[in-house]
Chains A and B, each alone.
Chain A
Amino acid sequence: MQGVIAAFAELDSTVHAIEDLRKQNFRDISVFSPVPRHELEEAIAAPESKVRRFTLIGGLLGLTFGYWIPIWISDYWPLVVGGKAVASWIPYTIIGFELMVLIGSLSTVFGMFALSRIPRLTMTVGYDPRFSHGDFGVWVAAGPDRAPEASELLRRHGALEVRNER
């Protein structure tokens, strides 16, 4: 994908550059930052993360599975222990809870991986090691017709370096 990448030293310059890019109808914008910042999240105005759905579904599946295993085992070997019902749901709550946490956590991680598109075998165009060190990066998709406009806007906001990527 063709576009322009710019490195910024300051947070507020990055935020204002993103806001101006959006005003100029540049839609495909990504920002790289060494830390998560609410200011950048607001400037990008990305929708709420969908990781929560994975968490909920994984947790419910784990809970169901965690009750089902001991109930099935108890029915398979119907031994009365301590005068309690063959399938006693109260002690099985422990297994249900543990598996809810286990499967819920693993599916949360799976959801994060799927939505963030990691693991990634190659770094995508435009990444610079500075973005994990101290600088902020702004990537904007722009064809040859709009790239000069985007570069000019990013420079005007104090970018340390602006370059075209393909």
Chain B
Amino acid sequence: MATMAKPRPEHLIGSNIATAGNRLPGIKDYEQVDRDIIATLQPTLGWFAMLGVAILCLLIGASTWVYQIYEGLGSAGYQPPVMWGVYIVTFVFWVGIGHAGTLISAILYLFRAGFRTTIYRASEAMTVFAVMTAGLFPILHLGRPWKFFWLIPYPNWRLIWPNPKSPLVWDVFAILTYLTVSATFFWIGLIPDLAVLRDQEKNATRKRIFAVLSLGWRNSDNEWRHFTRAYLFLAAFATPLVLSVHSVVSFDFAMSLVPGWHATIFPPYFVAGAIFSGIGMVFTIIIPLRKFFKLEHYVTINDLDAAAKLCLFTSCVVGLAYLTEFQVAWMSGNKMEQEYFWNRVFGQWTWAAWIMLICNMVLPLSLFSQKLRRNTKWLFMLSIFINIGMWFERFVIVIPSLSHEFEPWQWGGYHPTWVDYNILLGSFGWFFMWFLLFIRQMPVMAISEIKEILPPKMRRAHVEAHHAAHGTLGHPLPADGGTH
């Protein structure tokens, strides 16, 4: 038979290179992937309850914001010398969370890390929603939030332009670019999966919506050819972008002369911290998700183990940065810098600094143990500690510096009020509302990329199985190729 006359070379029938090294023994074929992942789209009572809680938290935050606009920013605990508080802390926290998704989807794609395949879609969604959340905080921090667009350089009748030498203007460019590019990357990756949903959907209205969102994708060779190239270039753009965004956020601090902020270590320190916090949030999301959706055979324990190693590595980088900061202060001979770091660890802010050090530097060392890396309960608990620790890291960076500047009249305290706490709660409500809506409307895993891991059906394998069953191995093939 012609089809069997020229067997393909072995290296051509293995898995595609993007998913090299990953195996999913619990999954039989392409059809099972569609069935399993589409099954996650059915809403349950638990999902409605969680969505209700998220919306309630959001409403608490939104109504508090209205109160703050009416009463003024003083209601949020701002008083000289501390004029940046929980809002900027939470802004940096959410931008940091938003780093892991693009790291996993773009950087690990370029590095051909197979374990990313099953977790990257949820991480990307997390990135987009986290950056959407972060973007609210500079606006919440404004006394007149309706003037936020003054930061964007656009032709205006006042003939006024923002100062392009200001780090806050760089922030506008960096965050808006990051939001646009990560959302685009997320949507482009979704297109082939939306086509699967369109083709499998029974409900006419939903089918029409998926048809519009999938842009008429047909899985043709022409589409795949341009898609794979475009995806590669987007990943190549997103990779330096991930590193640049938190570097730019760190410039908000490092470009000033404030003790504790004016340090060249800030960009790599912030980027490592962002990736660390993002991986923490990935665990917080993925571990319950794989359990509730019964997807343990997709997000395998090996994938979590690999992600835990990344978490351990970034924790070590962050820990090194913490220690280097002390060394820099000690060796600088700068009295202000030394006073500030003493005050951070043994003075006014001891409690916050030690929460940060224990959660981010000490507890993650447990991941040196393979047993703990493969224990999902511990990984989930640790991820909660990391989230708390990373929020406090930003608290320790922002507040102690502002409350202990150069002269005694610049020394003061800061007490967040119920307004700050409500808006912090509202930000979690906003983030989880979007995430919960996403997991019931869109596939939480990349259907087409998971299919790439699976070996495709082969006629040759089929024929060999036929011969093995009939004891005819080594004999010439029947005219029909042995399939009938």
Contact = CB atoms under 8 A, between A and B. Distances in A.
Most chain-A Cβ atoms within 10 A of its Cβ — which of B162, B181, B459, B462? B459
Q: How large is the interface on A (under 10, 10 to 19, 20 to 34, 35 or more residues)?
A: 35 or more
A11 B165 contact: no
A35 to B, nearest CB: 5
Given A46-B225, A118-B217, A133 B184 contact: no
Given A34-B30, A36-B228, A38-B12, 12 more contacts: A12-B458, A46-B225, A76-B161, A92-B164, A94-B174, A102-B176, A104-B237, A108-B233, A108-B234, A112-B230, A113-B215, A131-B218
Interface stretch (B46-54, B57-65, B195-203, B315-323): B195-203
A155 B153 CA distance: 63
B394 interface: no
Q: How large is the interface on B (under 10, 10 to 19, 20 to 34, 35 or more residues)?
A: 35 or more
Given A98-B177, A131-B219, A12 B164 contact: no
A99 B177 contact: yes
B224 A33 contact: yes
A84 B165 CA distance: 10
Interface of B: 1-3, 6-8, 12-13, 16, 29-31, 34, 153, 159, 161-165, 169-170, 173-174, 176-177, 180-181, 184-185, 188, 192, 195-196, 198-200, 215-230, 233-234, 237-238, 240-241, 244, 248, 251, 448-449, 451-452, 456-460, 462, 481, 483
Interface string A130-162: 011110000000000000000000001110000
Contacts of B251: 94
Contact of B13 (A16, A39, A76, A79): A39
Contacts of A81: 163, 165
Given A70-B164, A119-B215, A133-B31, A55 B196 contact: no
A49 B234 contact: no
B463 to A, nearest CB: 10
Contact of A133 (B162, B200, B449): B200
A136 B13 CA distance: 15
Nearest to B221: A31
Interface string A1-44: 00000000111110111001000000000111111111111101
Nearest to A47: B225
Contact of A118 (B162, B223, B225): B223
Given A33-B219, A34-B448, A12 B241 contact: no
A110 to B, nearest CB: 10
Contacts of A109: 184, 188, 230, 234
Contacts of A105: 180-181, 184-185, 233-234, 237-238
Contact of B448 (A35, A106, A157): A35
Contacts of B165: 70, 74, 81-82, 84, 88, 91
A12 B463 CA distance: 12
Interface string A49-61: 1011001000100
